[in-house]
Every structure is written in C-alpha cells, then in structure tokens.
A and B are shown apart, each in its own frame.
Chain A
Amino acid sequence: QSVLSQPPSVSGAPGQRVTISCTGTSSNIGANYDVHWYQQLPGTAPKLVIYGINKRPSGVPDRFSGSKSATTVSLAITGLQTEDEADYYCQSYDSSLSGYVFGTGTKVSVL
C-alpha cells in the first residue's frame, strides 16, 4: 500500500550515474513535505542517505544527491560503485493519512 511510486529497478556500470525517481501526490510531496532517502543493503536495516530533499548526513559520500521538481523527487548516484548495490526507498509525510509514507522501493544493480 505504498503511496509513493518508484521504478522497480535501475542499473549502471561502475562509474556511471543513475537516478531514482519518487512520485507522489498533492497530499505528500505536492504539499511540500520533505522527502528523505534510505539505502538498504541485503539483510540489514535501512540507512539514511539523504534528508530534506538534498542534504547528506555525516559520513554519506557526496556521490549521493537529491533534487525535486513539482511532485517528483529524485536521488542521483554519480560515480556508481559496487557497494552502492542495494534497495533504495523514499519517505515523506501524507496529510490525508496523517502519517509517514514510503516509496515502493528501487533495486540498484551495478553491472
């Protein structure tokens, strides 16, 4: 029952740039609620990589960046590395549901 839509998968060769989109509606992203991104490596808990659309927590490489246009937010990974292979989820808040919502998740594969 994810409210935010993401592509199921994206892939790229080492060193390339990939982007993941997160599309919402007027009650979440379109209502200007912030969007945040999490990386989940296999068998581990999610880890925050971007908060507030485009801010990186301490320790997250600057290869990770975020942007927003209307009701779509994007996560970009430049200079793709094998350790970036993981599932990525966007997260926001939805005023009609009065709670947090996650994206459907995107699997990033490094070819």
Chain B
Amino acid sequence: EVQLVESGGGLVQPGGSLRISCSASGFTFDEIAMSWVRQAPGKGLEWVSGISWNGARVDYGDSAKGRFTMSRDNAKNSVYLQMNYLRVEDTAFYFCAKDVGPTTAGHNWFESWGQGTLVTVSS
C-alpha cells in the first residue's frame, strides 16, 4: 500500500523560511517523479513543484519560482520543499503527490496523495 506522510508544517513569520518533508513507502520510490500541490484554506488546488526520479529535473509553478526549492533523497525515500521569503499568501495545506511516471510529463497524473501539512504564514 502506498503511503505518503508529510511533516514540518507550522507557523512562520512573513519573510521567513520553512522546510517541509514527505516520507514515502509502498512503491519503488527511486523510479517515480513526485510533486508538491498546495491548497489555501477554502480555495482550490495549485501545483507547486515536481521533481524527476533522480532529482535531475525540477519544475516549478509560477508562485514558487525563485523562492522554493524541491529536492529528494532516494536513500531515505523522501522529498522536501525548502520555502524561503514566505508570504501570507503561501498559507496553505501542502500535499505530497505521487506521479505515475519518472518525470513531470504531459500525460501524467497523481495516483496517490498524502494527507497534507499546514503551513501558516502570519505575524
């Protein structure tokens, strides 16, 4: 059974930094791309970032470019999202999602999701 468990969320001040993590199990982690998707309270889904199976390719949504960095450690079956220069509008649940292929690609979808970790940016 695929399991994705996010951690590291919390309260941070505007302009601050936070790193969230996702621990995966139940599948061959080092063959699959992973993504972060966020959802502000009461709002819709927004793709944040995706990383290829070996970490060589990382793609970002517009809101993450220049501020967020996604990485992975295949030895630990984990992906991470380092978030810098956080803004109030970054407040959201951050979901870890399992892709169906080795890279972010045109016909792919998310077949499994974690339960999310809440990041709150507020002074």
Contacts and interface: CB of A to CB of B under 8 A. Distances in A.
Interface of A: 1-2, 31, 33-34, 36, 38, 40, 44-48, 51-52, 57, 89, 91, 93, 95, 97-105
B111 interface: yes
B110 interface: yes
Interface of B: 35, 37, 44-47, 50, 59-63, 95, 100, 104-111, 113-116
Given A1-B63, A45-B95, A46-B95, A102 B46 contact: yes
Given A1-B63, A46-B95, A93-B108, A100 B113 contact: no
Contact of A33 (B45, B46, B106): B106
Contacts, number: 73
Contacts of A91: 45, 109-110
B95 to A, nearest CB: 6
Nearest to B105: A93
A102 B109 contact: no
Contacts of A57: 111
Nearest to A32: B106
Given A38-B45, A45-B113, 15 more contacts: A1-B62, A44-B115, A46-B110, A89-B44, A91-B110, A93-B104, A93-B106, A95-B106, A97-B62, A99-B60, A99-B104, A100-B35, A100-B50, A101-B47, A105-B44
A78 B46 CA distance: 28
B59 A98 contact: yes
Nearest to A52: B107
A59 to B, nearest CB: 12
Given A99-B60, A104-B44, A105-B44, A93 B116 contact: no
Contact of A36 (B50, B104, B109): B109
A45 B44 CA distance: 12
B114 A45 contact: yes
Contacts of A1: 46, 62-63
25 contacts: A1-B46, A1-B62, A33-B106, A34-B107, A38-B45, A45-B95, A46-B95, A46-B113, A48-B109, A51-B111, A52-B107, A89-B44, A89-B45, A93-B104, A93-B108, A97-B62, A99-B59, A99-B60, A99-B61, A100-B50, A100-B108, A102-B37, A103-B44, A104-B44, A105-B45
